[in-house]
Structure 1
């Protein structure tokens, strides 16, 4: 299962406490199957020295974003930066390190061995607050109705892509989209992409402070924060406009011919 050039694209915001250890773990697992391994970090204007923590690592490229824009636009920036390196396989994961190294190998293996365009890491054991899980479940139902099939973990950030298939998706989704992975999942289901699913383990964010995570804090909260409530409303309007309404532009996305081969 050798890969000539494997790129890990990673959006990050204030992850200095845990991101280097996470990268070290992923590198240890993937280096044996990749002739060349590159990490591309899209830093969403971190204030805790995230970029400086990674400065001396030869296989890490950090691209500091022009402004703090949130998770969706930064994830898309990470995808674009990764594609620019012309990889043979691109894996996306968030910089908060909520996954384990061995699952990355399983994801890449499924992509190559099952002739897929994309493999989704379907999270088990999630530790997110209840309202995040409910929001994800509600969006999953909505997307399943639109796609006429259930899509496990519709918004998972852990994905492995063939570059040709990914290029189509990244080109179709606006750069400021707040929920690009939901758009990707729906377009993949409608557009004839070969999608596979691998169960992976979800663990708590790496790092103890409440300054990290692109979702606005990690403390114990019993009610949805105002920021998340505003985000949910904005995301639903975006989904309707770009992917769900009759004539929505992302309804026209189709897999490139022979993308998985």
Structure 2
């Protein structure tokens, strides 16, 4: 009987967990649905940002400014790390952490130091455990999503680059493609650069106002700010998409486990009934004898 009771307790516990997982799935899907209108224009927004970067680089590629040519010596790089505030979202956080660890290891081999801006508590906790240098951190709340806090973060990072305290800026986070597919991406934000594919394309002359150094500085500051906001929205979409998928998978797995425990409980109950019948029959036969 104790075995039957234990199985019953396990079934009740799993069914209670299923209620929580279904609720988390529903909350994630609601948050994801609210951002679908943003997601539809996010790809176009990203494309426009990258086209602007290419135009600026092409217009000023003969300039010796650090934003175009880069700093002469690379001593420290800055990594903006986008994770979630909470777990239970599949590999959303761990994939970013692995990508960051690779960058740090490669930098250490070259004698280059790293520092972090952590957007999301999970990234900050990971950097603390690994004893990485954290320059600043922020939770993903309404102020960050509405760019108020993110603009301050962007400005402080840009100032450090201009003062040659850091020589490169990277962003690491998940890019949302579909509900079932998110891609962990590492992007160099500053200094400006050209990919091999972009080098093969032709470009038209660009007239700028204001001209020269001021144009490069204002363009780079705007590019950094907009790109960080784009990465944040992608990360936020990926988080809730991953959580929705993870909770759905967990619910299905727990349902399979519940069915298995119910089968085991039925077998145990049937065995108990059979044993009781055998005892009754045996007792009756003994009384006859």
Q: TM-score, normalised on structure 2?
A: 0.34
Larger relative contact order, structure 1 or 2 (CA cutoff 8 Å, min sep 6): 2
Please say which structure displays the higher CA radius of gyration: 2
Q: TM-score, normalised on structure 1?
A: 0.37
